[in-house]
Amino acid sequence: MPNKTIFAISGSLREGSSNHKVLTFIGGLLPADISYHIYGGLATIPPFDPGLDNDMPPQSVTTLRDAITNADAVIICTPEYAFGIPGQLKNALDWMVSSASFSGKPTALVTASTGGENAHTALLKVLGAIDSDVIEGGTLLIPYIRSKIDNDGNVIDEDAIKDLKLLTDNLLKTIA
């Protein structure tokens, strides 16, 4: 069976981000034949400008579009800021509207925040707008995330672990 690729995007730029740790945890659940990459370039995506969204978009945008296009699946894991989607994540997704990189792409969404309901709902709408295929059993809201991760970055909440395993299994089944 050929290798499959899962591309992961954290909506938090913070060093020590819980969302990054959740994505690392998911990576540890994957079989060895899955190529898993956690995107590190979100801060390099320039502010969305429709005037620059032409045949020669900024290189960082092209790199992100290609990574998504070439992946078999995408996982987004994000906090909520000020009752909404973190600006840097929304900005990157705005660049994906015209490229169709997400079109039909199996996608899982984890919102890991203090509350997170608003960002979660809003992101599902955005993923619909970019024609992403949010998979069945591929959405998860983890509230009070900071209390569910220990100082070493391990997810320690049993329900969160169970839910993340299930979501990961669902994604793997989708791309098998």
Binding site for ligand FMN (CB under 6 A): 12, 14, 17-19, 79-83, 113-116, 145-146
Q: How far is the CB of 99 from ligand FMN (least distance, A)?
A: 26
CB 32 within 8 A of CB 62: no
Q: How far is the CB of 19 from ligand FMN (least distance, A)?
A: 3
Q: How far is the CB of 32 from ligand FMN (least distance, A)?
A: 27
Q: How far is the CB of 48 from ligand FMN (least distance, A)?
A: 21
Longest Cα separation, the chain = 48
Return the closest-CA partner of residue 153 out of 15, 8, 10.
15
Task: Tell me how far CA of residue 43 lies from CA of 13, 117, 152, in angstroms.
Answer: 7, 24, 25
CB 44 within 8 A of CB 88: no
Taking the least distance from each CB to ligand FMN, the nearer of 62 and 114 is 114
CB 73 within 8 A of CB 174: yes
CB 9 within 8 A of CB 77: yes
Q: How far is the CB of 79 from ligand FMN (least distance, A)?
A: 3
Taking the least distance from each CB to ligand FMN, the nearer of 6 and 112 is 112
Taking the least distance from each CB to ligand FMN, the nearer of 49 and 83 is 83
And the tokens for 104?
A: 């039909």
CB 72 within 8 A of CB 175: yes
Taking the least distance from each CB to ligand FMN, the nearer of 47 and 87 is 87
Taking the least distance from each CB to ligand FMN, the nearer of 106 and 116 is 116
